[in-house]
Structures are given as structure tokens and as C-alpha cells.
Structure 1
């Protein structure tokens, strides 16, 4: 059986005639296999899931058990999907075998940058550029906002990576086109080529620590985006020590404007290129002179200090691409925001309902809580490493918390000083919050926890919230 599938549109360069193994046959794995085949390679595919192997065979790919040494010895390299551990907490057995045999390990991001680096996409008057965004929180909104601004001014732009399309599934960019990539630590940690023209670091807070062997390993994975290829411009959030350290490492001195420092909540000073937001106003300084300012308070798609940080990062990236401040400001006003990220889904009886299901860790939830006054807070799920202690200072605006999840009672007990009600499921939480909410209040889903105890993903959790709000009886 051979199923017709659209060919990958970014063929991998430099692999003609090579036998290359592909581990993990989800979206990125199959995309990589197609792009390798289009580049003249012979992919050998494997996934622990028989259904995934069947899908690959239906597309005409060879399926081979990569746990067998004789198979791994026959390949030039191994391409790994991002969800598969390659080092911590321990390497996947296939990757461990590749390490033992000296087989190079890479991922689809590395293949993309390797193929983009030779600029073989076409003949251009203005070469396409790549903007890559990483960080703990805000990278999806920042990436989408950059893409939105570029679309608003008529630039050829595509959004890919951890958001939008797979990196090898995009169309070859047009003259002067811009590819905007959101990259997770899983993706930057393993890629053997990372050469963006503009690289963005939003912030760093503890997350995925088991996968990276601790906070230092997590930061090192993010840092690779800047250290491996040397972007022409780096936009660095300096609200944490790691960001200040990274900016210091990249700059040759305080006036080196290859580094644009950004902040939310503090005024930045000095002769360099600076973008910061304070009290709802974004300000840009360059060479000791103010050159731009935006009132962010009037932009509905960017509520709260955490979105103001995203706005600073996107603004700085767009300025690095040569866009004027007023052009960027105009585009900001038409940005609708992303689903599951401070998304206003309804207003009934003077009560707003906001879906921030993407707030899966303490830092993201803290920022969501600080973005609104007078909150009915729906929270809970699979608690992450580190507990909730750091969240408590942000709960001052919470009138009451409605806790969901299989361990809702235990989760509620950690919220000291907050009135709580154990609801367990989303339908009960939404119904109870709606019944008690008064005009001027906000019902906010900001779980501060992973979704996997009850849902397949944070998206499914957010969709359930939206569904339950839609089922509320008419007022």
C-alpha cells in the first residue's frame, strides 16, 4: 500500500545517497522522513507504536528496528523527535545505542538550519531571514505576534516549529521573506545546526528539569540557540540572572547594538539598545536617545505584565528586521492573541471568562493572576516539580480558587491563605465559579499544573473550559 502524501517542501541538503534513521513517527518525525527522502536520502523509520510504524509504511517508508546494532551500524545519522529523551533522565535505548556506536544524533530543527544555511531556496534580491524564539514562557505569543506584525505590513512570512507548521513543511520563502520559529528546549538541545538571523530569549523559569538534569542544563539548552550559530541580532530578556549573563556573553561592550536587552517591570539604562515596559508603556532607547513608545494598556490582545514582556520581545525583533515603531504599534492593535493564553472567551453579566490553560507552571500562572483584578481562579492538575510556594505571593487578587484534577484536595491544601473549593472536574468548577461571580470579576483558568492527569494536552483542557462556559444557562 502506498498512500499519496504531499512532498516535503524543504528538502534536506547534503544527504543524497545516505541511509538515515528516524526515531519517532509523529508530526516532526514523518515530516523529517519526507524531507530526507526528497533530499535523496534513504530513511529507515522506527517508533515503539505499531500504528505509527503502519502509517510510515503506508507512505512507502522502510521500517527497521533501530534497537538492533546491525541496523544502527548501517546508518549515517539518527534523527530524533523532540519528545524522546536523549540524555536525562536517561537516554532512550535507540539513542543510547547510537551514542555507543558513534552515530551522530540530530533532529528536524538541525536538518532545517543545515538546509537553510546554503541559501539554496532560490535567487533573491533580498535573502530570506530566520527569526527564532525560545524561553520558558511567552515564546508562542511572541512568535505569533512577530508573524502578525510582518503579515500586517505585507511581508512574506511563515510561522513554524513548536507552533504553526513543522519546520520542514513550510514553503520555500519568497524574496525578503521571514520565517518565524518557536523553539522549545527539547528542540534547541539536540539540533546540530542553529543559525538564525535574529534570536530571541524571552525569560527563564524552572521547567522540564527532569529532561535537562536541572536548571543549569535547561538554561544550557536554551543558550545553544545563541552560542552555536551566532545570530546577527539577539533579543534578550534580562529580568533573570541567566538573561543578564547571556546578554553579557554576546555583547562586546555596552554600546554593542547587536544585543537588544528587554524587560518588563524595570527601567533599563545605558548606551545600548533597550526596550522595556513599565506601568503599561513600552519604551525603546538606542544610543542614549528615546526613539519609540507604545501605550500597551489600550491593546486588548496583550493584557498583563507577562504579555507586555512578549510585546517588548516582538517589538525588538521587528525593529531588528527594520520595521518602524509606528508600523509595529498599529499591528499590535489588531493582534487577537492566541487560544489558551489569556484568551477572553466570553463576557456575561459583567463577568469575564479567560482561558489561560497554557499557564502550566508556577511562573506562567503567577503572571496570569497578576494580569487581572478580582479573580475567581480555576486551577489544579498534575503538579510540577518545585511545588506551589512561589505562586502564593501572586494570589492577592484571588477571591476564591476552584480546584480541579485527580489530586484536587491535595492541591487545594497547598494554597495557603486562599479560599478554595474542591471541584475535581472542569464542569463543576465553571458552574460554581459562575454561580458566585459578581459583575466586575473575572473567572480565570490558569492551572499552574500540567494537564495529563485528566486531559491529553493543555489545548484539550482549555477547550473543555470554553465548552463549559458555553453551556452556562442564560442569565
Structure 2
């Protein structure tokens, strides 16, 4: 795990003891800090206590306590470390921490403060609305394929604090949501990547401008040696970065879909959205000093991510694709653009009341099958444009789509919705789709 002497002797409160919270507790304890942790889930509290007790550290100089932080005096703590999922704009503990003058941070800020004690390394930070996970995993894969010591973390994979420090010359590649950036103060990325920004998570922000400002803070935290990759789709909306763009073209690289002329060499990177992802990852790796040959080898061998246009199976000439990660219409649109004859399964917990971003690609859809809370709404929206059936459940939708399909068709789960009406998360939804397809 990643530790630092800088944390020794301090007292941290950690609110939320799931994956990143538990990793934070263990890293701070191993660094010699005192930690008071809390989670409303009994099992999470017990697991955290048991795992800390199993650590081979000197608990005379460090201590772990379990206390209800919803009622505790927060002024006793040096910092409050919260899970990124905690809504800072309305959660009572955030209001109480501000009133007590206690800083609110996340595990990425803990990592940032540990960096001076790690072997010399670089950090690539990647944010945006859609494409973060693929761009992060692709950048990591290209580096790894080229023989560069690298780990990925943040909003993907293992929590960054749970990973072992990289040797000299290593590169940490971090996927960063706006929630994580909101909890970060000093992450000075060597390369910052800003992908597309479209309306999302507006329940957490006053308006779209506030959401944009959260993303842009990744760039603001960089020092004078900054290197940046900025989507051409996003960049013109920020006047301050237009100046940087014109004056520092050797440090700021603009990327877009038109950067990639031929994706046929990269099986797992199809569709226009993956063209932007590939362009961004390529630019980041070039800024890190990789050669064209090293980048091309990484693009060619990239296996793809689960639930992101994941090719599950081909049966009787019909391709089944799991794109469960597409939780809004903007994320679904590129998948519709990537295949010429689609049987489209969509629906769930809607984030918008329209499918406007998907409309330019309706011509690729032979028929649609809606599910979940948004089923009736989306069926009404699609009925003027294509045959559509409100199937209510994923099982019914796949059954209908498989029966209607012909050789050359693609059965595409790309829901354009959150999953929480019927599933725990998009991973569970995608896994269920894969199980159903495997049983056909």
C-alpha cells in the first residue's frame, strides 16, 4: 500500500468504509496516524475493524477507532476523508465539517500528499463526462505494453492507496470523476486529460457551469510544468484555455474524432467515441515520451473493458454487445454509430426526458426494446422512428431481440440510463446480460 511519514501523529476521520474508504484507513494506520472510521453499514464497520487488527503495524503509535461520525465532535480531527459518493452539497456531515473548520478531502488527496515520499514518478489524470474509463485503461495498457511500470486507479480498478508504490520512472494513471476532483486540493498531474463534458450529475451541482468548473479544476491544480490533452469538443468553451491553447501548443494538445483515420487495426476500439478515447490516450503517451511504434502496439493489443461496447458473443451471425456503462444518451450515441444494424435494448432509471443525442443514429436501429422505469417514456419517444416494444425487464428484452435478429445484426445493450431501478449498478446489469446471452 502507499504510505507516508507526513501522516504520522495526525488524527483523521474516515466517513464510509467501503473499498476506497477501507484502503484509506489502512494506508493511514500504516503511516502511523490515528483514524476514527464510520459507516452506517454494520458489516462494513466490522470488516474494517477486523482487517486493521490483522495488519502487521505497531498499533501503539497508530490507532483505529469506530465512532458514529454523524454525532461526533468533528473539530478534534485534522481532516475528514469522505467517500466520493457523499453529496457535499447537501449531506449534514459536510455542513458540520465546514462549521467546525475541518477540511473535507478524499483518498486522491491523500495520495497527492504522499507523492513527495514516493520514488520519482509521473501522474496522468483523466476526467470528462464520457470515455474516462476506456481512456484510462487504454493509457495504462499502452504504457504497460511498452514496458513502463504503471498502475491505474481512482475511479477504476483497485483504490490507489491499496496499491504498492511504483519504482523509479513509474506512471500512475488515474480516472477522476468530478466527485473525486471536488475532494482533491493538490494533485499536480504531470499530464492532465480533459475529455468531453456534457450535462450529468446536475443533482450535485448548482448548474452545468458548476459541473464544468469541477472538471476544469484538474487543470487548475497543475503547476507551471503542466502538460495537457484537451478534447476539441470541450476546449473552445473555456476562454482561459483558449489563451493557453494558442500560446503553449507544445504543451497543450487538442484531440478529436478526426485525429483517427482508421480504427480497423484496433478491434476493441470501434466507434467514434473510441476514436476520441484513442486520440487522447495516444497524445498522453506521446507527452510521456513513448514512440509511435509503442503506442500503435498498445492500441492494437488493447482488450477493452467490461461493459464498454464489450463483444460478448457471436451466434448464428448475430453479435451481442454489452454497453451497460452507457448510463446517459450521450454515452449511448457512439455505440449506435458504431454498428449498422442494431436491435437496441435501452432503459432503466432515466437521467433525461429525451434521447436527442441518439437521434442522429436512429437509422442504424432496426428495432428497440425498452426496460425499467424509463420503458414507457422511451417507447413513446422511439415509436415514430422505429419498431419498439416495451419489454419491462432485461430478460424479456433479450428474448425479443434475439428472436427478431438476423445474421449481420447486433443486439446492443446500451441503456442510456442508470441501472438503479432494477440493478445494484451498471456492472450487475451488464453481467446479467452476459449470463443471458451465454444461455441462448
TM over 0.5: yes
Q: Which shifted more, 186-195 or 308-317?
A: 186-195
| Contact 2:336-2:358 within 8 A present in 1 as well | no
RMSD: 1.6
Per the alignment, residue 379 of structure 1 pairs with 346
Q: What aligned pairs does 1:439-458 form with structure 2 within 5 A after superposition?
A: 439-458=407-426
Per the alignment, residue 356 of structure 1 pairs with 323
The CA deviation at 1:169 is 1.1
Aligned residues: 427
1:240 aligns with 2:234: yes
Per the alignment, residue 286 of structure 1 pairs with none
The CA deviation at 1:402 is 0.8
Structure 1's unaligned 5+ residue stretches are: 1-8, 266-275, 282-294
The CA deviation at 1:83 is 0.6
The CA deviation at 1:410 is 2.8
1:217 aligns with 2:220: no
Q: For 1:85, what is the secondary structure of its paired residue?
A: coil
Separation in structure 1 between the aligned mates of residue 168 and residue 30 of structure 2, nearest angstrom: 23
Separation in structure 2 between the aligned mates of residue 398 and residue 50 of structure 1, nearest angstrom: 47
The match for 1:64 among 62, 67, 83 is: 67
Separation in structure 2 between the aligned mates of residue 45 and residue 400 of structure 1, nearest angstrom: 50
Separation in structure 1 between the aligned mates of residue 243 and residue 81 of structure 2, nearest angstrom: 31
- TM-score, length-normalised on structure 2? 0.93
Change (3 A) 1:255 1:43: closer
The match for 1:47 among 32, 36, 39 is: 39
Q: Which shifted more, 379-388 or 183-192?
A: 379-388
Per the alignment, residue 171 of structure 1 pairs with 164
Per the alignment, residue 269 of structure 1 pairs with none
Separation in structure 1 between the aligned mates of residue 335 and residue 307 of structure 2, nearest angstrom: 11
Q: Structure 1, residues 380-422: CA drift from partner, whole Å, max 9, x if none?
A: 1000035323332321211100111144223311224222011
The CA deviation at 1:67 is 2.5
The CA deviation at 1:354 is 0.8
Per the alignment, residue 185 of structure 2 pairs with 192
Q: Structure 1, residues 321-346: CA drift from partner, whole Å, max 9, x if none?
A: 11111221122111111111111111
Q: For 2:76, what is the secondary structure of its paired residue?
A: coil
The match for 1:80 among 60, 79, 82 is: 82
The CA deviation at 1:241 is 5.4
Higher relative contact order (CA 8 A, sep 6+): 2
Separation in structure 2 between the aligned mates of residue 199 and residue 449 of structure 1, nearest angstrom: 28
Change (3 A) 1:52 1:380: same
| Contact 1:12-1:112 within 8 A present in 2 as well | no
The match for 1:259 among 252, 256, 274 is: 252
Q: For 2:125, what is the secondary structure of its paired residue?
A: strand
Change (3 A) 1:243 1:165: farther
Structure 2's unaligned 5+ residue stretches are: 54-63
The match for 1:427 among 392, 395, 398 is: 395
Per the alignment, residue 182 of structure 1 pairs with 175
Per the alignment, residue 285 of structure 1 pairs with none
Q: For 1:366, what is the secondary structure of its paired residue?
A: helix
| Contact 1:20-1:41 within 8 A present in 2 as well | yes
